[in-house]
């Protein structure tokens, strides 16, 4: 399932996952946190800070990703699956990696 999705955190500065564990719609967000905290994913960027903000206020599950270039990706986990969140993060990271590669090729040419 989620193991087939490749996520490289190189362009990511921080990831904050917020949820209320007593709500019924938090399973996908908790699964996302478990996957993103895995040692293999963490080794792709040791400087990426992953934090869990667990609240007891009935708040909507939320994933807030801050990229090194200042851009943010906010995913509301109530209506998303773990796969959708991982795919969104992975595709955004891949696009930023590709952009960075093209910049470095232009500089060396």
Residue ranges of domains in the chain: 2-108
39-61 mean pLDDT: 94
> What is the rounded CA–CA span in Å between residue 74 and residue 97?
19
The pTM assigned to this predicted structure is: 0.88
Question: What local confidence, expressed as pLDDT, does residue 101 receive?
Answer: 87
Residue 59 · residue 18 · CB < 8 Å: yes
pLDDT digits (tens, 9 = 90+) for 62-98: 999 999 999 999 999 999 999 999 999 999 999 999 9
Mean pLDDT (the chain) is 92
CATH code of 2-108, in short, is: 3.40.30.10
């Amino acid at each position: 399932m989620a193991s087939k999705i490749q996520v490289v955190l190189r362009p990511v500065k921080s990831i904050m996952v917020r949820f209320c564990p007593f709500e019924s719609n938090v399973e996908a967000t908790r699964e996302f946190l478990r996957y993103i905290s895995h040692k293999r994913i963490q080794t792709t960027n040791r400087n990426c800070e992953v934090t869990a903000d667990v609240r007891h206020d009935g708040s909507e599950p939320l994933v807030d990703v801050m990229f090194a270039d200042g851009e943010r990706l906010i995913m509301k986990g109530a209506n998303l699956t773990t796969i959708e969140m991982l795919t969104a993060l992975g595709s955004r990271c891949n696009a930023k990696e590709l952009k960075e590669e093209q910049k470095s090729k232009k500089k060396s040419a």
